[in-house]
Amino acid sequence: MQISLNGLQSKHSFPNEFPYDAINPISAKKQTFNSIDDVYELLVECYDRGKEEGFKNLGKALYEQSLFFVDMDKMIDGKMQSYIKQYRFCKNFNCPPYQSLQETPIKTIDYFMIIDEEIEQFKAKGTNG
């Protein structure tokens, strides 16, 4: 979601292919990333750490941390981009994603709530500085 809100970062020196080395923001040590799964694993660690430390805007924190160890081009997930488009369509045209709430998959409701929360925090950031 943060990629959609903030855009892709300018190109860093991350290679286009795995494996590559980058600094782990938790340990501050060099780590080898062999696949996108290694990136997601570190993001989960960052999420857990942020949750423990009481970060309010975990999406923003994860986005900012990820800039240190992955090229955002690798993070774009087609399925999630589809959910964001679906959310925006529903919001802009004031229509539900499915015929009824009972027919709406819980995953869609969860994703829409996460997207909405991220957008609201992003808007608040813009008004607060």
- The pLDDT, as a whole number, for residue 10 is 54
Residue 129 has pLDDT above 50, yes or no: no
- The pLDDT, as a whole number, for residue 13 is 63
Burial (0-12, 13-18, 19+ Cβ within 10 Å), 49: middle
Buried-exposed string 69-79: b where 16+ CB fall within 10 A, e elsewhere: bbbbebbeeee
**10 Å Cβ neighbour count for 10?**
7
Every domain of the chain and the residues it spans: 2-75, 78-128
Q: pTM for this structure? A: 0.71
pLDDT tens digits along 42-72: 999 999 999 999 888 888 888 888 888 998 8
